[in-house]
Amino acid sequence: MIDMALIHSSPFYEWAALLALAAFVGFIGLQLRQPMVVSFIAVGVLAGPSALNIVSDHDNIELMAELGIAVLLFLVGLKLDLKLVRTLGVVALATGLGQVLFTSLFGFLLALALGMSVVVSLYVAVALTFSSTIIIVKLLSDKREVDSLHGRIAIGFLIVQDLVVVLAMMVLSSFGIGAAEGDNGGALARVAGILVNGAAMLLLVLLFIRYLATPLVGRIAHSQELMVTFAIAWAALLAAAGHYLGFSKELGGLLAGISLASTPYREAIVARLGSLRDFLLLFFFIALGTQLDLSLLGAQISPALVFSVFVLVGNPLIVMVIMGLLGYRKRTGFLAGLTVAQISEFSLIFMAMGMTLGHVDAEALGLVTLVGLITIAMSVYMITWSHVLYRWLEPVLGIFERNNPQREASVAEQEVDVRGYDVVVFGLGRYGMAISRFLEDQGYRVLGVDFNPEVVRKYRDWDKQALYGDAADPEFMASLPLQGVKWVVCALPQHDLGVTHEDPRLLILNGLRDRQFQGRVALATHYSQDIEGLHAKGADLVLAPFTDAAELAVAKLVADMQA
């Protein structure tokens, strides 16, 4: 049995117990392939009064939680480079804003139908619109799909969602503080004062970006330790300034990040603070857990399931409809739509702010938390198995594609030479590009294939033949010009497959087998233990880039020494 009296006898014992619980629950979550956000929420619930009741040092936990939120929003602000915001495409804006508006509207009506008050329904509806940028980017990076067309679109409309988060928090803070004044005149004056203060702070931030940010951070970057200290101090300082000027610590922290987003050092800061952010956010979820009553969660299971189905199914459908109307193929819309099939940690922060302002109660916070647990856990598997899901659902997804998906056609513009090709190379990275160049130097006709439209455009700018396409897309594999092709070479980047990631090399083999391809197939691998298995699967030649390069280098060295 755990001796709670002993744990509560010292703050150090209490924090040691919390960290041990977090490590244990995190390990279980890792085995279940869940993001750490799910594990952190579980830690908060277990440490709260409805379960183990570990937390008694509430003030210090709250302080760490506030610092964690400031650092989180600081890092989000670092991604909102003003140049990037200005160059957001039509699809990112249309999809991001369209999804937010439709989810808010239907979520509001759904909440009213479930018997919630107007204010609570509004809060819940807005909370359902936010998707987790952190989780999505992590999953797309793991699958090497950040540079794919659907990956780029998804990140674009997630940035639009982040901007909506900023506006929602600003409105929430203004109305909350205005309501606290007690009379309409005082409330309006206070709101006007907050807006003036916000405009003044924004102007100072813009001046800082224009004249001080890059030279100042450039001097600080000579010391990595000082850069980390400066970044945390800057986030905390602007968060404190935001709170003092009447809006929120959250907005101050986000402005701190935006002020450094245009500097060439933002990626280094993100890399340095990522682990610290995750550690500090643990205390936000612990603080959140201390406010949850598990008995209330039990009463919220039915509405939580209704809202979870709405988020898991409704949000992707909204994205697919919008992208279909914009002229994208059903597959691109489906893969991009799956990225919004969960709610974000910002949803919980948003509800926590509403609870602090007295607009919602612990029951509403518990409802959104339960929806977050369900949707985040489910969406992880939906995204990692996205290609399998598409193959299952493809026959019924035709309604989300126009007869002429002109926007995606304009990206790809599939033009093939009627004379045919000798070799098709999948993957136009450094290795695939080099193979293509050396084959063409030998007089062979080569067709390159890649799922990054920018790479395809660049390859064509060099007067080389290339197609935009994905090996996991059966429609593309069925249309691939294979007449007269002697070799198909897979030079796609190698990554850890795990149990939830498909092997693109095997997808290519299966696609070629379905086409009854009569030529030969070469697959690349970085691991010598894969060679025998790939041969058994049907590969005629297995390329080992590192081993092959090392053998050639040794042969040249030996030949020189013998000479």
Q: Is the pLDDT of residue 342 over 70?
A: yes
Token representation of residue 215: 């030279």
List pLDDT tens digits, range 454-471: 788 788 878 888 888 777
The pLDDT score that the predictor gives to residue 497 is 41
Q: Which helix (H) or strand (E) holds 72?
A: helix 58-79
Within 8 A by CB and 6+ apart from 332, the residues are 149, 150, 153, 323, 408
Q: Which helix (H) or strand (E) holds 522?
A: strand 520-524
DSSP secondary structure string, 180-242?
HTSSHHHHHHHHHHHHHHHHHHHHHHHHHHHHTHHHHHHHHTTSHHHHHHHHHHHHHHHHHHH
The pLDDT score that the predictor gives to residue 105 is 92
Token representation of residue 22: 């977090």
Give the integer Cα–Cα distance in Å for 445 and 381.
41
- Name which of 268, 262, 231, 265 is nearest 81 in CA terms: 262
- Name which of 409, 401, 405, 410 is nearest 321 in CA terms: 401
The pLDDT score that the predictor gives to residue 309 is 93
**Structure-model confidence comparison of residues 224 and 440, the more confident one:** 440
Q: Is the pLDDT of residue 1 over 60?
A: no
The pLDDT score that the predictor gives to residue 80 is 64
**Structure-model confidence comparison of residues 91 and 435, the more confident one:** 435
Q: Is the pLDDT of residue 266 over 60?
A: yes
Q: Are 543 and 535 in contact (CB under 8 A)?
A: no
The pLDDT score that the predictor gives to residue 496 is 44
Q: Are 425 and 489 in contact (CB under 8 A)?
A: yes
- Residue 447 phi/psi, 5-degree rounding, is -115, 120
List pLDDT tens digits, range 165-182: 767 766 666 555 445 455
Neighbours of 543 (CB within 10 A): 18
| pLDDT band at residue 412 under the 50/70/90 scheme | very low
Q: Which helix (H) or strand (E) holds 387?
A: helix 386-393
Give the integer Cα–Cα distance in Å for 467 and 287.
51
Beta strands in 405-481 (DSSP E): 423-426, 446-450, 466-468
Q: Is the pLDDT of residue 310 over 90?
A: yes
Identity of residue 187: A
The listed range with the strongest mean pLDDT (182-196, 344-358, 364-378, 405-419) is 364-378
Q: Give the residue-averaged pLDDT of 426-444.
A: 89
Q: In a 10 Å sphere around its CB, with 0-12 CB exposed, 13-18 middle and 19+ buried, how is residue 2 labelled? A: exposed
| pLDDT band at residue 84 under the 50/70/90 scheme | low
Q: Give the residue-averaged pLDDT of 346-375.
A: 83
- Name which of 196, 164, 135, 177 is nearest 350 in CA terms: 164
The DSSP code for 342 is S
Q: Give the residue-averaged pLDDT of 10-23.
A: 87
| pLDDT band at residue 498 under the 50/70/90 scheme | very low
Q: Give the residue-averaged pLDDT of 419-431.
A: 86
The pLDDT score that the predictor gives to residue 352 is 80
Q: Which segment of 78-82, 247-251, 406-410, 491-495 scores lowest on mean pLDDT?
A: 406-410
The pLDDT score that the predictor gives to residue 93 is 79
Q: Which segment of 13-27, 75-89, 329-343 scores lowest on mean pLDDT?
A: 75-89
* Mean pLDDT taken over the chain: 80
Question: Any long-range contacts for 306-310 (C-beta under 8 Å, 24+ apart)?
Answer: 306/110, 306/114, 307/107, 307/110, 307/111, 307/124, 307/128, 307/367, 307/371, 308/371, 308/374, 308/375, 308/378, 310/106, 310/107, 310/110, 310/128
The pLDDT score that the predictor gives to residue 317 is 92
Give the integer Cα–Cα distance in Å for 279 and 22.
10
Q: Is the pLDDT of residue 406 over 80?
A: no
The pLDDT score that the predictor gives to residue 65 is 84
> What percentage of the chain has pLDDT greater than the value 90?
9
The pLDDT score that the predictor gives to residue 306 is 92
- Name which of 449, 431, 446, 435 is nearest 504 in CA terms: 449
Identity of residue 203: L
Within 8 A by CB and 6+ apart from 137, the residues are 146, 155, 158
- Residue 543 phi/psi, 5-degree rounding, is -95, 135
Give the integer Cα–Cα distance in Å for 111 and 88.
32
Distance, C-alpha 100 to centroid of its chain: 17
Q: Give the residue-averaged pLDDT of 187-195.
A: 64
Give the integer Cα–Cα distance in Å for 76 and 201.
18
Give the integer Cα–Cα distance in Å for 203 and 16.
44
Token representation of residue 347: 């949803």
Give the integer Cα–Cα distance in Å for 380 and 500.
10
- Residue 399 phi/psi, 5-degree rounding, is -65, -15
**Structure-model confidence comparison of residues 429 and 33, the more confident one:** 429
The pLDDT score that the predictor gives to residue 557 is 92
Q: Which segment of 132-146, 215-229, 393-407 scores lowest on mean pLDDT?
A: 132-146
The pLDDT score that the predictor gives to residue 500 is 40
Give the integer Cα–Cα distance in Å for 430 and 542.
18
Q: In a 10 Å sphere around its CB, with 0-12 CB exposed, 13-18 middle and 19+ buried, how is residue 373 labelled? A: buried
Token representation of residue 380: 């992880």
Residues in the chain: 563
pTM over 0.95, yes/no: no
List pLDDT tens digits, range 201-214: 888 888 888 888 88
Strand partners for 521? 488
| pLDDT band at residue 507 under the 50/70/90 scheme | confident
Q: Are 379 and 312 in contact (CB under 8 A)?
A: yes
| pLDDT band at residue 501 under the 50/70/90 scheme | low
